[in-house]
């Protein structure tokens, strides 16, 4: 049987199939991401209940009910109760360098696109990154690329990135507009609306975002900060996981480009433990560059997984290597 020469179509087919396996492999990086997301979900539930206690301590339900009666009776002048999902929490248990009490406060937003750093008007990219990572599976099923921000990390803004970010946000039902404000989420639809509507509380005030600081204890404040760090950790772990996949796929592209025959790509897939359809399995000898022969390339790519190792694992690997050199 004659050899089938590699072409762009075959390269893309092999690349996408192998990349899909990379994304589904149960690596340490992927597991760390899934655990971070689960940890956030747990903290989101418990921390919001804490927020409910703190908010209702400052704005008792009876007061809220009374003010709503006044609004119904007197109209707009008494319209001072609204539902909100973002709050300025503050405590005054710390002291400054002179020994005087000082206020410590920050903005905490329980919405899907809420900030990760305590700034109400913060950078929207990290907000988007979290939302895309949180609903990664849903976005993938919808034909979107939830990993685009991680894949483009460190690169300048470009049309390719913008196209995919906009598509993700549209799928999730995020508000339209270039700038973000927490009130914009009231115009959200779909998954964003479904997520946000779980986390609204009654707040008394007339200022934007009801931004008057709500008093809490230092311990409560620290719990709010831990919840926000858990949210940021989802982004961090997602970035690490996608970085590991990107390194593998970049090496994969170089290797596939070096192959002259389809059989070399099939052999690479087999070396990586990937079984392709029978119709695609055409066996022949490798004629690629030595460094990119299927076995070598497969080993190189495999070595890029599970970068996090314990000290004991590193010692064991080193001993195994030294023993192989003696044999």
DSSP 210: G
**How confident is the model at residue 244, as a pLDDT?**
96
- How high does pLDDT run on average in the chain? 85
At 276, the pLDDT band (50, 70, 90 cuts) reads confident
Minimal CA–CA distance to 134: which of 194, 59, 188? 194
Task: Give yes or no for residue 320 having a pLDDT over 70.
Answer: no
Determine the average pLDDT of the residues in 300-313: 63
∠ CA 174-178-183, nearest 5°, is: 55
| Count of alpha carbons within 13 angstroms of residue 274, beta-carbon side | 23
Write down the pTM of the prediction: 0.80
Rounded CA-CA distance 267/293 in Å is: 9
What is the layout of strands, in order, in the sheet containing 86-95? 101-109, 86-95, 214-215
Pairwise pLDDT comparison (289 vs 7), residue with the higher score: 7
What confidence score (pLDDT) does residue 31 get? 96
Residue 284 above 50 pLDDT? no
Is residue 186 very low, low, confident or very high in pLDDT (cuts 50, 70, 90)?
low
Give the pLDDT band of residue 315 (cuts 50, 70, 90). Answer: low
Contact 172, 135 (CB under 8 A): yes
Residues 51-86: pLDDT tens digits?
Answer: 999 999 999 999 999 999 999 999 988 999 999 999
Residue 178 has pLDDT above 70, yes or no: no
pLDDT digits (tens, 9 = 90+) for 33-55: 999 999 999 999 999 999 999 99
| pLDDT at residue 270, rounded to an integer | 87
Check residues 168 and 282 and name the one with the higher pLDDT.
168
Say whether 42 sits in a helix, a strand or coil: helix
Contact predicate 114/47, CB 8 Å: no
Alpha carbons 266 and 296: distance in angstroms, whole number: 14
Residue 7: in which H helix or E strand, if any? none
Helix (H) or strand (E) holding 84: strand 81-84
The mean pLDDT value for 243-271 works out to 92
Share of the chain above pLDDT 70, in %: 79
Is the sign of the CA dihedral 169, 173, 177, 182 positive or negative? Answer: negative
pLDDT tens digits for 95-154? 888 888 899 999 999 999 999 998 887 668 999 999 999 999 999 999 999 999 999 999
């Amino acid at each position: 049987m004659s050899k089938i020469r590699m072409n762009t179509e075959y390269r893309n087919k092999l690349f996408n199939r192998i990349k899909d396996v990379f994304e589904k492999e149960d690596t340490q990086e992927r597991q760390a991401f899934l655990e971070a997301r689960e940890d956030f979900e747990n903290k989101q539930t418990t921390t919001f209940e804490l927020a409910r206690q703190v908010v209702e301590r400052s704005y008792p339900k009876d007061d809220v009910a009374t003010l709503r009666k006044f609004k119904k009776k007197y109209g707009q002048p008494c319209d001072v109760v609204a539902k909100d999902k973002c709050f300025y929490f503050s405590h005054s248990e710390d002291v400054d360098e002179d020994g005087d009490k000082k206020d410590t406060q920050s903005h905490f937003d329980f919405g899907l696109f809420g900030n990760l750093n305590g700034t109400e008007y913060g950078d929207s990219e990290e907000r988007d990154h979290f939302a895309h990572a949180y609903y990664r599976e849903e976005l993938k099923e919808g034909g979107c690329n939830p990993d685009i921000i991680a894949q483009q990390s460190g690169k300048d803004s470009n049309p390719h990135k913008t196209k995919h970010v906009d598509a993700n946000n549209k799928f999730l039902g995020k508000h339209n507009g270039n700038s973000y404000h927490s009130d914009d989420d009231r115009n959200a639809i779909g998954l964003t609306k479904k997520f946000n509507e779980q986390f609204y509380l009654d707040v008394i005030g007339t200022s934007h975002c009801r931004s008057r600081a709500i008093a809490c204890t230092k311990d409560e404040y620290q719990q709010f900060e831990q919840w926000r760090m858990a949210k940021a950790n989802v982004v961090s772990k997602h970035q690490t996981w996608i970085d590991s996949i990107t390194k593998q796929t970049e090496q994969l592209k170089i290797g596939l480009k070096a192959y002259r025959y389809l059989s070399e790509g099939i052999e690479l897939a087999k070396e990586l433990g990937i079984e392709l359809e029978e119709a695609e399995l055409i066996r022949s000898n490798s004629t690629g560059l030595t460094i990119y022969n299927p076995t070598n390339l497969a080993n190189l790519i495999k070595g890029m997984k599970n970068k996090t190792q314990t000290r004991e694992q590193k010692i064991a690997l080193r001993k195994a290597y030294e023993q192989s050199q003696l044999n």
